Amino acid sequence: MSGTDPRSANETTTTAIDDELDRIEREIAIEATAERVWQLVSEPGWYINDSVITDHRIERDGDLSTVHDPVHGAFVFRTVKLDEPRYAAFRWLADASDPDSESTLVEFWITDSGSGVILKVVESGFASLSGSDADRRAKFDGNTEGWKIELELARTHLTSGSRA
């Protein structure tokens, strides 16, 4: 992209959605420090919520974390890499009862930008999930919309004075 981007610096942008429906990429500008954003995104499953970011009960067993949400139930994540305060990667397991189940890879990058940061999320691996094409498409579409919502919630949470 060349020239000046006419979008607002606060607008959520979709930078890529793979033609094969395997990868979602979104980013958002947040007026917060990298360290503050890190406190949120380094927590497995912070994006499992019901319209507001809340604390979860988390059970940890090695690199596995089971996140318990009172509305949506239990979700299991495998921590892949944490590089404070710039990069966090988790595997979002499809079956909470099977630590070896198929998964998508959820990655977060935090990059300094002006008086805040750019938070980028990439979720990939939808094409490798079992089920029908319609099932994979439904998961992909749901998470595409979900990341738009969750990044807006993250920005609101991190700039409202709430503790991450």
Tell me which residue range forms the domain holding 20: 13-159
Q: What is the pTM of this model?
A: 0.86
User: Would 164 be classed as within a structural domain?
Assistant: no
Return mean pLDDT, the chain: 88
Q: What is the pLDDT of residue 120?
A: 98
Q: Could you give the percent of the chain with pLDDT greater than 90?
A: 77
User: Would 7 be classed as within a structural domain?
Assistant: no
* Residue (of 44, 51, 88) closest to 68 by Cα position: 44
How far is Cα 67 from Cα 157, in angstroms, rounded to an integer?
A: 19
* Residue (of 47, 44, 49) closest to 26 by Cα position: 47
- Determine how many CB atoms are found less than 10 A away from the CB of residue 17: 15
- Determine how many CB atoms are found less than 10 A away from the CB of residue 124: 15
First-residue to last-residue Cα distance in the chain: 33
Over residues 44-80, the pLDDT tens digits come to: 999 998 889 999 999 999 999 999 999 999 999 999 9
Over residues 20-41, the pLDDT tens digits come to: 789 999 999 999 999 999 999 9
User: Would 3 be classed as within a structural domain?
Assistant: no
User: Would 6 be classed as within a structural domain?
Assistant: no
Domain total for the chain? 1
User: Would 5 be classed as within a structural domain?
Assistant: no
CATH number, domain with residue 139: 3.30.530.20
User: Would 63 be classed as within a structural domain?
Assistant: yes
